[in-house]
Chains A and B, each alone.
Chain A
């Protein structure tokens, strides 16, 4: 099996300058009843996006036609709370390929990476500049280069490096799948089990 490859993503952004966006906001629990991975994008940010009568709330960024693109830019500590992978599925299903923030919760970061959604952790200063640039001009673009581990604000040329572990980077660049990798280690796993039973 393989996952979608990620190399360079150049796109306009959707700004969400809110801190501590938890996975209950990204996808509320009442929408976790599906038994497949598809279709969660419809309910992405459901309660911020729609009122109780299911009408779009005009002040929420996803309902603002000025903003579009494949990069979600959010305040620090994005993806905190529940381990629901549905949050990563919803963001990806909606059409985002990367999330830029100054800090990510651990489980969300793993879940995103396991679905070809790139979490790009930048400095507070760079994040503030991106928000400012997008506020000034909704057409401002970011370029995310995974191989170089670098994100560029194209309107000003400013860049910021980001971290990703070498294994995950290789997986994303090549579309490799974790389970294939683990299955290739079956001999070592079986040998490990023998040492445990003997102890």
Chain B
């Protein structure tokens, strides 16, 4: 039998039909939707006069456009309120399950899909959100789509998609002190650039990856899109099965045993060929931070920003534009630079482990006076668990408060906007110009590095505080 990659096994198993010289018709096992990228798809469906084909394979949440305080009150901004109300109407009309505001299962779409046990190995999943790649951590094919494609899935539970190429990124060895999953993925992106994996689907492998928890794996797969990849995935193993077991929608009893037996077959065969391979060493990775306006512009916190002359001539103009926006000089160091805001949260780092590591570093210390900190759990379940573990008490003693779940300052659609010119150390996924508010300057980092900045009020290597 031909040796196949994990990606090929799952993809090929979901091809309904192929178009000559064109895309495959790929069957989708699970469709997640939210308020921002779904309304026009529902309208399209209704204009055609056709029903939503498989509402039972569709799950809705509100996350992008909601406040992170006083969620029991009507949303103040009219357009946001209307968008949230439109999703509720659409879900009712088309019999789609919705975990709306204040529902105990509500939260960021990529956080709840996993924590409810809906995302499972071997599945195909899509959502009108590029960070759908998060779900690949379970050994699934998961990718973000546009609204026209959301409508395709509504109409047919299928999507027309050219098959991407395959890339494997292997990381082996032990991690340095202060280095966690976010540093690994920021390091990878800094090595291959913000477009280095465009056209590929990435499998992450190696003993560094397999030693990680499910939540850490999700952080890594989540940011696959930031190097242009269609998605990222990690072969399922005992860590995966243990995580899923017992969750709300996980298979139970005999069905569970059967499922695990099938999931164990989901791995890349010995000798399977990838279109591209990259090998990295864990010991080369140090706590990371970005200095520019795309996620590929990352360095270790102790390093200096690259000098202009070190770049190819064609890239120098964009580099200067980027540093000008950030207010940084080429060749300068970031360590010790003052920080105004710290954001812990998002589909990248809004899970319980992220709150645990943040709390572990700030425990017994005090938030710096010059820092405004927003700590936003990824879901109500994360919020609840943080309280049950007493993290809220540790955080409060250090001068921090938990807000209510949502995407929040990751994309600043709600009121959580970083003011123009201010510096934010953020655990989210994008440092684009204006991403966290018009004129806001974002430095992407891990929850540990964010905690270190929140305590010292400046960019700090978290390893120095541990």
Contacts and interface: CB of A to CB of B under 8 A. Distances in A.
A115 B148 contact: yes
Contacts of A107: 130, 144-146, 225
A136 interface: no
A192 B27 contact: yes
Given A29-B412, A52-B438, A84-B37, A166 B20 contact: yes
Contacts of B194: 20, 77, 80
B319 to A, nearest CB: 9
Interface residues of B, number: 70
Contacts of B438: 28, 47, 52
B16 A188 contact: yes
Interface residues of A, number: 56
Contact of A25 (B77, B314, B434): B434
Interface stretch (A64-72, A141-149, A152-160, A175-183): A175-183
Contacts of A114: 146, 148-149
A183 B17 CA distance: 13
B156 A30 contact: no
Contacts of B166: none
A134 to B, nearest CB: 16
B152 A182 contact: yes
Nearest to B151: A179
Contacts of A110: 145-146, 149
B157 A189 contact: yes
A69 B80 CA distance: 34
A165 interface: yes
A176 B16 CA distance: 20
Interface in B207-266: 225-226, 228, 230
Interface of A: 1, 17-20, 22, 24-25, 28-30, 32-37, 47, 52, 75-77, 80-86, 88, 103-107, 110-111, 114-115, 124, 165-168, 178-179, 181-183, 185-186, 188-189, 192-193, 196
Given A24-B435, A76-B195, A179-B152, A185 B158 contact: yes
A81 B152 contact: no
Interface string B412-451: 1100000010000000001011110011000000000000
Nearest to B410: A29
Nearest to A84: B37
Given A20-B194, A182-B152, A32 B413 contact: yes
A181 B160 contact: yes
A143 to B, nearest CB: 25
B22 A82 contact: no
B28 to A, nearest CB: 11
A126 to B, nearest CB: 14
B228 A167 contact: no
